[in-house]
């Protein structure tokens, strides 16, 4: 049985957790709402658009014309055909007359790294220009000004970070995946705007070639399958060298995984890089979800104990609706989700889904330990 002291202690912990969560939303995330990238009249340096493609014949056929159609900046496209075994090479030949380089990594090539890091490194070496912009083969630019926004950002800072939400498709899990990707974008953009850049996504980012080679590229994490985007940015970005590109015309879109199992496997690959993040970044990233778990859990406990019931309910509702309003406005800001009411379902489901991801991660780790 809990005595009054124990119940009051839990209530204090509940209030602290609410305060931490609201701090993230009102100090960090509101920055996402008010920042707006603008185009200037300055002439941009030429850029190299780099795409690592493995078995991407359909996506390249569909999306390359949208990249070639970019306006206002001189550019080349460098496509690295990374050990493809479909008709990717034939599709690339159809675009050979345009300003495009093709770097081929043959299927039998010994890959000293993991993931697409070898392909990206070869693409960077082949790039003619100092300013590099990265997009995945399955991504569509949101407009014909996407590359212009990125190019102008790289004129101002060595790193340009954009956002790349998933296409808004029907179905509960597709909605959940799209909302999750957007909230990750809100988080890393907001942190960067507050002077704490910690990641970017390879579907929409850029940096200068010299920065890549001066910092050793992917050398420190070449053995990891993921990390070509988030770990690289985590290592080299600081409050002075990052420009955020946030405009509806500067977004790129890609399709999410089509099943929960595939999404979880993708999420586990991303989580595998988190131990390499800077210590403060790890604390900041863990504190928000942990505080939300505490708020939900202690809300139920305090109501069952009938401790400060009225105040607990009022604080919880204020916290919940403040969070909802901020998330809703962030979604509205991007125009990437048609029905913003899905944010409510996401906030309710997200703790349970992420708990499932962590459970599967630990289960796999335990099974690997038993085999040793």
Q: Report the percent of the chain where pLDDT is more than 70.
A: 95
pLDDT at 355 over 90: no
Q: Report the percent of the chain where pLDDT is more than 90.
A: 57
Under a CB-based contact definition with an 8 Å cutoff, are residues 254 and 203 in contact? Answer: yes
Query: What is the CATH class of 35-269?
Result: alpha beta
71-102: buried (b, 16+ CB within 10 Å) or exposed (e) per residue?
A: eebebbbbbbbbbbeeebeebbeebeeeebbb
pLDDT tens string 150-159 = 999 999 999 9
**Rounded mean pLDDT, 169-176:** 87
Highest mean pLDDT: which range of 161-170, 203-212, 285-294: 203-212
Under a CB-based contact definition with an 8 Å cutoff, are residues 118 and 105 in contact? Answer: yes
Tell me the Ramachandran region of residue 109: left when phi exceeds 0, alpha when psi lies from -120 to 50, beta otherwise. Answer: beta
Under a CB-based contact definition with an 8 Å cutoff, are residues 224 and 273 in contact? Answer: yes
Can you say whether the dihedral through the CA atoms of 105, 106, 112, 116 is positive or negative? positive
**pTM reported for the whole predicted model:** 0.90
Under a CB-based contact definition with an 8 Å cutoff, are residues 216 and 103 in contact? Answer: no
Residues of the chain with CATH 3.90.550.10: 35-269
Burial class (CB in 10 A: 0-12, 13-18, 19+), 261: exposed
pLDDT tens string 68-88 = 999 999 999 999 999 998 999
Residue 243 confidence class, pLDDT cut points 50, 70, 90: very high
What pLDDT is recorded for position 127? 96
Nearest to 232 by CA among 180, 161, 129, 131: 161
Beta-bridge partners for 6: none
pLDDT at 40 over 60: yes
C-alpha distances (whole Å) from 204 to each of 90, 141, 207, 254 are 26, 9, 11, 10
**Rounded mean pLDDT, 89-116:** 81
pLDDT at 372 over 60: no
**Cα(229)–Cα(209) distance, rounded to whole angstroms?**
14
pLDDT at 314 over 90: yes
pLDDT tens string 201-214 = 999 999 999 999 99
Half-sphere exposure of 88 (CA within 13 A, CB side): 25
Count of C-beta atoms within a 10 Å radius of residue 266: 14
Cα three-residue angle 71-72-77, rounded to 5 degrees? 60
Q: State the residue for tokens 């931490």.
A: 20
pLDDT at 112 over 60: no
DSSP assignment letter at 79: E
pLDDT at 2 over 60: no
Considering only 87-91, 110-114, 283-287, 309-313, which range has the smallest mean pLDDT? Answer: 110-114
DSSP string, 258-297: SSHHHHHHHHHHHHTTGGGS-HHHHHHHHHHHHHHHHHHH
Residue 340 confidence class, pLDDT cut points 50, 70, 90: low
What pLDDT is recorded for position 113? 55
pLDDT at 342 over 80: no
**Rounded mean pLDDT, 106-133:** 85
What pLDDT is recorded for position 28? 95
**Cα(283)–Cα(151) distance, rounded to whole angstroms?**
33
Residue 134: in which H helix or E strand, if any? strand 131-134
pLDDT at 337 over 80: no
**Rounded mean pLDDT, 181-187:** 92
């Amino acid at each position: 049985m809990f005595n009054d002291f124990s119940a009051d202690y839990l209530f204090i912990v509940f209030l602290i957790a609410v305060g931490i969560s609201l701090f993230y939303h009102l100090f960090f995330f509101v920055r996402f709402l008010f920042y707006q990238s603008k185009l200037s009249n300055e002439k941009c340096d030429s850029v190299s658009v780099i795409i690592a493609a493995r078995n991407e014949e359909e996506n390249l056929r569909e999306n390359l014309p949208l990249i070639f159609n970019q306006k206002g900046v001189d550019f080349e496209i460098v496509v690295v055909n990374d050990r493809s075994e479909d008709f990717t090479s034939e599709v690339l030949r159809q675009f050979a007359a345009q300003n495009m380089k093709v770097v081929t990594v043959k299927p039998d090539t010994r890959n000293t790294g993991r993931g697409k890091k070898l392909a990206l490194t070869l693409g960077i070496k082949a790039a003619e220009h100092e300013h590099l912009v990265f997009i995945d083969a399955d991504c569509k630019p949101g407009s014909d000004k996407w590359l212009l926004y990125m190019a102008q950002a790289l004129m101002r800072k060595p790193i340009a970070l954009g956002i790349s939400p998933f296409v808004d498709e029907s179905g509960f899990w597709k909605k959940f995946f799209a909302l999750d990707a957007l909230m990750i974008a809100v988080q890393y953009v907001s942190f960067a705007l507050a002077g704490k850049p910690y990641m970017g996504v390879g579907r929409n980012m850029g940096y200068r070639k010299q920065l890549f080679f001066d910092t050793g590229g992917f050398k420190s994490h070449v053995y990891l399958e993921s990390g070509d985007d988030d770990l690289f940015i985590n290592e080299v970005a600081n409050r002075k060298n990052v420009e955020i590109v946030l405009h509806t015309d500067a977004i790129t879109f890609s399709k999410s995984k089509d099943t929960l199992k595939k999404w979880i496997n993708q999420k586990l690959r991303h989580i595998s890089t988190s131990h390499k993040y800077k210590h403060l970044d790890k604390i900041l990233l863990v504190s928000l979800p942990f505080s939300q778990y505490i708020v939900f859990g202690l809300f139920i406990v305090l109501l069952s104990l009938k401790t400060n019931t009225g105040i607990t309910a009022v604080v919880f509702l204020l916290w919940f609706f403040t969070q909802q309003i901020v998330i809703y406005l962030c979604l509205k800001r991007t125009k990437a989700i048609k029905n913003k009411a899905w944010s409510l379902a996401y906030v309710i489901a997200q703790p349970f889904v992420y708990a499932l991801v962590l459970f599967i991660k630990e289960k796999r780790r335990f099974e690997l330990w038993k085999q040793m």
